[in-house]
Structure 1
Amino acid sequence: MNPMRALRQYQKVNSHAQISEASPHRLVQMLMEGGLDRMAQAKGALERGDIALKGLMLGKAVDIVIGLRDGLNPEKTEDPAAIEQLDSLYAYMTSRLTEANLNNDVAIIDEVSGLLETLKSGWDAIATPQA
C-alpha cells in the first residue's frame, strides 16, 4: 500500500471521528480552520502556477464560508443585528474569494484569510469549557 495513501486514509478517518464527537462550537472552529487551510493551499498553488488546484481550493474555501453562513441562526440570539452583520461579512467573503479566483489575486486571498482569522480568534475566545 502506498504510504501517502495510507496517511490520507488515516487522516480522513481521524477527521470523521473528530467531527462525530465535536460540540457545535468545535464544529465551527473546524470549519474556520478548514477555510483558512484551503485559502493557504490556494495561495500556494497560485504561487506555483497550479491554476487548477488554486481553483479547487478556493472553491472549497467558498463552500466552507457558505456553510458558516448557512449555520447562522437569528432565532437563537439576543442580538439579531450581529447575525445580520456576520451574514453580510460571509457574503462579502464569498464574493471576494470568487473575485480572487477569477483574477488570480493573492492580495484578495490574504484579505479574506485575515477576516476569517479575526473571526476565528473571537470564536476561540468564547470557547465553552468541556463538561
Structure 2
Amino acid sequence: MTQILTNEAIHKKSPQEITALLYEACYTNLEKAIKEIENKQFIEANIYLQKASDIIERLGAGINYEAGIIADQLDSLYNYIADKIIEANYSKNIEVIREVLQVLSEIMTSWNQALRKNTDTQPKVIKRKVSVYDKMSIYE
C-alpha cells in the first residue's frame, strides 16, 4: 500500500522520522528497479535507480559529523551504496541491487530501532543552539 504524505504531514515529522521515510523510499525504488530490469524495461529501471541515488545523496548531505565516528562510518556506507547503485544502473545487474538492498535493510532496521527507543543524549541547551544555527544557515 502506497502512503501519500502531504506537505503539512511532512513538516510535522522530526528529522529522524524523515530519514526513516527516505530509507523506505530508497528501498522501494530499488525494489521497483529490480522488477523493471526483470521485465526488460531498462529506461524505467534507470529512473528508479536514479531516484534511489538521489535519496542516498540527500541522506549523505544530512549527516551530522559532530556525532563522531558513527557519522564517518555512515558516510562510508552511503558512499558504498551510491557507488553500487551507479554500478547496478550501468550494468542493470539485479544481484548488485540486492546487495544494496541488504545493506540498506540493515541500516533501516538499526535506524528504526533507535527511533523507537528514542534515547536522545544530547542536552536540550545544545539542541536549541544547533536548531537556531540550522534555522539561520537556511537563509544564508
- For normalisation by structure 1, the TM-score amounts to 0.83
Task: Report whether the alignment pairs 1:34 with 2:25.
Answer: yes
CA 1:45–1:28: 2 relative to 1, 3 Å? same
Q: Which residue of 2 aligns with 1:88?
A: 76
State whether structure 2 residue 4 is matched by structure 1 residue 16: no
The DSSP-based 3-state class of the residue aligned with 1:126 is: helix
Equivalent residues, number: 116
Amino acid at match of 2:31: A
* Distance in 2 of aligned mates of 1:59 and 1:15: 23
Identical-residue share of aligned pairs (%): 27
**Runs of 4 or more consecutive aligned structure 1 residues displaced over 6 Å after TM superposition:** none
Of 37, 43, 51, which aligns to 1:52? 43
Q: Secondary structure at the match of 1:72?
A: coil
The equivalent of 2:99 in structure 1 is 111
Quick one: which amino acid aligns to residue 106 of structure 2?
T
Q: 2:89 maps to what in 1?
A: 101
The amino acid of 1:114's aligned partner reads: Q
| Distance in 2 of aligned mates of 1:19 and 1:83 | 24
Unaligned runs of 5+ in 2: 120-140
